[in-house]
Amino acid sequence: MENLETLFLNIGLTEAKARETAGNKKLAPTLKEILDHAGITEESDVPKATGNLLYNLASTITKNGVPHLAFLTKEITSERLKTNDQVAAAVKFFDKIAGGAFDQAKYEEECGVGIEVSDKEVKQQVADLFKANKAKIEADRYRSLGFLLGQARNSLLRWANPLTVKSEIDAQLLATLGPKDERDDPKLLKKKAKEAAAVPAKKDAAAAKPAEEKLDAEAMLVKMMTEGEITHLHKPGENPQPNPQRMVEHLKATGGKVVTRFPPEPNGFLHIGHAKAINIDFGYAQVHNGVCYLRYDDTNPDAEEKRYFDTIIETVRWLGFEPWKITYSSDYFDVLYELAVKLVKLDKAYVCHCTGEEIYEQRGGDSKGERFECKHRNRPIAESLAEFEKMKQGRYAEGEAILRMKMDMTSGNPQFWDLAAYRIKYTPHYRTADKWCIYPTYDYTHCLVDSLENITHSLCTLEFRQSRESYYWLVDALDLYKPVQWETGRLNINHTVMSKRKLNKLVSMGTVRGWDDPRLYTIVALRRRGFPAAAINMFVRSSGVTTSNSVTEVSRLDSYVRTVLNETAPRLMAILDPIKVTISNLPDSHCDMISLANNPLDPNAGERKVPFTRTIYIERDDFRTEDSKDFYRLAPGKPVGLLSVPFPISYVSHKSDANGNVTEILAKYENDAKKPAKRPKAFIHWVAHAPKLGSPVAFEARNYGSLFQHAFPENKDEVPGGWLSDINPNSLSVSQGLVEVGIVDHVRKNAKRMKELKVPYSSAADNEGPHCEASDAQLRSVEDLKFQFTRVGYFCVDPDSRLAGNEPSKWHLVVNKTIGLKEDAGKSK
């Protein structure tokens, strides 16, 4: 393996990529064969571009193309195939002819061999492209870039230098639209919003910013689906079929549309990785004017529950997608059974009575030794049919018999080692009750239901790469329409775990309170923590679609959350660790109503009024009993400004308890024009004590940090004690705070809106049973109550709150800290 790593490093792979490739039992020998054909050794001097093309060939070659590896390798090394697009076209060409007669001229035409596109031709082709899409370009402006690049790939421009094409499209966009303005650049939009903030907003003015955000997110989706390796996918009708009649039937059923599916197992809550899969499956269909199924892969009754079914569709819709149809693998149980019988009759399946341990040994066991066939493998077809019927009738206990597919035990691919097709389970099924006691496996069900639903693009993650061959084997064995399976890299992020088994362990151990605990990265947890759907979509779209696994910094997700909330979240002043300030030179009756902008970036968000009185509360860390040069807030001899209040306050004295903790600060309001105070170097937020006006409103703040102490808790080198030993004991802290009365209006308006939408209100704190996750209705009832607490961070109202009634003093308000404000140099001063 070390020699392979060295060899792969020599063609330009990174150290991590070379190691990963060398350990891939499917990819490593293919790439080694290609390099042998090219005469490349560990000492060879290989141009990086050539190495990239050879790796691309190895990772995309299909079964039908393998016999032509030597030819394709020579085409690359002789520079007849110069781009990834040409390599993809060549692989597709040989897949299509499937061993048929080779037509050199047809090959060169379809792969762009020898085609040189001049700069003049690029200019003319782009001009024609702009003319054909004039209306879309004028409507979408610079957001049409991704679309135009995708369209360029369907023309002669596909064989041009991609940088030249991109530069020409950029130039013609500029000539057509002029320089970018606030419609295209969020920074310019922010600037314009700030300039307009001083102008009173008309009551009927439309809030433009959310629409801009939606358009930005949509542009990211288009870019995700029209750039990179995903553009190499076939068009409907181009995937070859052993039986051409199957394609005729398929196109008749689909009308030539793209058809995808999102096929989750209903045995847990979806996580951030699934958000990317949802965007890819639904997004690919949406961008290509196709349709996408939501299909529940409900073939394991042991692990499936109604709440999982419910939360999956709720998550898909929350992220902004709507399935074309909602189906279940169990819809096809009768058909799948008949196909299994047919498979046995074709002598391509048999009933096996081996134990799990015996099957493990047949596949090489611990020693990875020689594989051998099961003693039941060659039993008569009639015998297997009779045994399969006994399985169906419930005449065997669980584990006593399985139906196995008769594949190829000599193959180097473990997915060909006579996989199970059916097993016995006596657990009643959520939908079919006790009708069945035999259930199809994922390996058997997945490809067949894809075929039955006429899926054009079966998109999945890289761990299913080896399953692609067994997927094709089964549909071919049954003479069914064959979809194309294509694998993409998983979305992995640091500082968490995403395995359902490990998440379930955390829940069952009580380490977290449920699947929606805001310290997790399940979608319901992120939703409860206050992460906007738009931010999650932008995050997963920003990483594009690749065919390699990688780890993304969680800080990148945080950045998108801040971006969205900064534009949309109303501002409030709230104190998480309050300390009382009495302004001694103001009368008890003093009360000024201070006007504050709800969102300085959105002039349409309006204003609110808050009282300023003799008694206020400030953050404890905004005061020091002893001054220092590096501290700019309230201290002896150092005044501080109060946000939006005309004059600063200065320190007079303070009171402390027996433990030395400051309990009250006495201050002076520096409103004497004859003796003005020193200009304050800082301004702090505050909340007034004005009980008759409902101020302040008390709340419980749940402050969440990382659940794990290390970035990679599953890395045994980094965490020798195992991932459970890495739990951060300080990942949750709870404090009691005070928020300005402005929150009351937001809560009441939200309650009115929820009533109009007929969303029932209840507190998640009252949920009973072993699972305490908030329901979709409970999450929706507080979904829009997200705020920026000035100078503190972004917070959202938690469903555990009890907000019924008109008296805020009787509310139990609970807020979750979504994320802190962006760090800045002066934050600690």
Let me know: does 142 contact 223? Beta carbons within 8 Å: no
Helical pair 333-345 and 442-452, crossing angle rounded to 10 deg: 110
Contacts 24+ apart (CB under 8 A), 182-186: 183/141, 183/212, 184/141, 184/142, 184/143, 186/212, 186/216, 186/563
Q: How far is CA 72 from CA 88, 264, 331, 631, in A?
A: 11, 38, 44, 68
User: Catalytic site residue 265?
Assistant: yes
CA dist 221 and 545 (Å) reads 11
Residue 432, burial from CB neighbour count under 10 angstroms (0-12, 13-18, 19+):
middle
Q: How far is CA 219 from CA 143, 146, 280, 541, in A?
A: 5, 7, 14, 10
Q: Report the SS3 class of residue 373.
A: coil
Report the amino acid identity of residue 556.
R
CA dist 485 and 458 (Å) reads 5
Report the amino acid identity of residue 712.
F
CA dist 766 and 784 (Å) reads 21
Which among 274, 251, 674, 303 is positioned nearest to 481, based on CA atoms? 251
Q: Report the SS3 class of residue 262.
A: strand
CA dist 672 and 202 (Å) reads 38
**Rounded-to-10 torsion of CA 796, 798, 804, 805:** -40
Q: Exactly one of 490, 529, 562, 638 is catalytic; name it.
A: 490
CA dist 731 and 729 (Å) reads 6
CA dist 686 and 696 (Å) reads 10
CA dist 646 and 1 (Å) reads 72
Show the beta-strand stretches assigned E in 479-635.
484-488, 491-493, 550-552, 571-572, 574-575, 578-583, 591-597, 607-613, 615-619
Report the amino acid identity of residue 630.
D
Check residue 514 and report its DSSP letter: S
β-strands 571-572, 786-789 pairing? parallel
CA dist 344 and 438 (Å) reads 16
Let me know: does 438 contact 391? Beta carbons within 8 Å: yes
CA dist 784 and 797 (Å) reads 9
Which among 735, 805, 738, 797 is positioned nearest to 764, based on CA atoms? 797
Residue 438, burial from CB neighbour count under 10 angstroms (0-12, 13-18, 19+):
buried
User: Catalytic site residue 322?
Assistant: no
Let me know: does 798 contact 580? Beta carbons within 8 Å: no
For 54-92, give the DSSP string: HHHHHHH--GGGGGGHHHHHHHHHTTSS-SHHHHHHHHH
CA dist 744 and 283 (Å) reads 39
CA dist 58 and 307 (Å) reads 43
CA dist 308 and 304 (Å) reads 7
Q: Exactly one of 96, 500, 505, 620 is catalytic; name it.
A: 500
Let me know: does 300 contact 265? Beta carbons within 8 Å: yes
Residue pointed to by tokens 């104190």 = 575
CA dist 812 and 801 (Å) reads 5
Rg (CA), the chain: 32
CA dist 677 and 394 (Å) reads 89
CB atoms within 10 A of CB 309: 18
User: Catalytic site residue 567?
Assistant: no
Q: Exactly one of 108, 249, 265, 700 is catalytic; name it.
A: 265
Check residue 765 and report its DSSP letter: G
Question: What positions carry a catalytic annotation?
Answer: 265, 490, 500
